[in-house]
Structure 1
Amino acid sequence: MNYQVGQRGLIQWVELLPHQALITSENDALDWVGVCGELRALRLLVHESNLPEAFFDLRSGLAGGVLLKFSNYRMRVAAVVSAERASQGRFGEMVQETNRGSQFRVFQDATAAREWLAK
């Protein structure tokens, strides 16, 4: 199994295990939407190691495509990313913008990400 289910009260989320599950395409994002749907957990926690380099290079379009898939299915997604990576270039700008919203946020530690998902 390359994920685990977290829960606080009635709220559940799927957490991809670091270095074991990858989101390398929009189809991978849809696969995770399906897993979350089966578990009735419309929240997802991903780690930096679950995402390829292309995700952090906004010119590739991967981040936009993946996040759009999650948004279309009203998934709430938290990503645990190092502070250095989260502040780099255009990706850093995207992080600042998305962290104001309620669908996708970037955190430096998993505990904070889980707290946000549990709300």
Structure 2
Amino acid sequence: MKRWLLDRRWDSRIRTHFEILYSSGREDGSGILANISYNGALLKQTSVQPRLGSQVRVFVLLREDSPCEVVGKVVRHVEDGFAIEYAALDPELRRLVEDAAAVVANPLHVPPRRESQS
């Protein structure tokens, strides 16, 4: 069987290495955002591994002054972490993916903080 039939992850994944904090109910943890896409993210070196199906709030420390918040559901466990699928793709999340891509492409440039359009 062709690999693309087995792999449901259609969006390109951007390899990253940003520190994160996360919370899944009563459990809090920390780790590294290993990759990110418009559909989900892989968190590694995690201190706590939430249950499959649990909701997780992830705070990505892309900029020190304003962490980006992502909400998703745990869909897979890996040896030293877990993967989440986002609850919804909102404009803030889209900006996070684009900013992560910009930082990875040019590590010396941190994108300026963008104001939410509420």
TM over 0.5: no
Structure with the bigger percentage of strand: 2
Structure 1 length-normalised TM? 0.27
Structure with the bigger percentage of helix: 1
Bigger relative contact order (CA 8 A; separation at least 6): 1
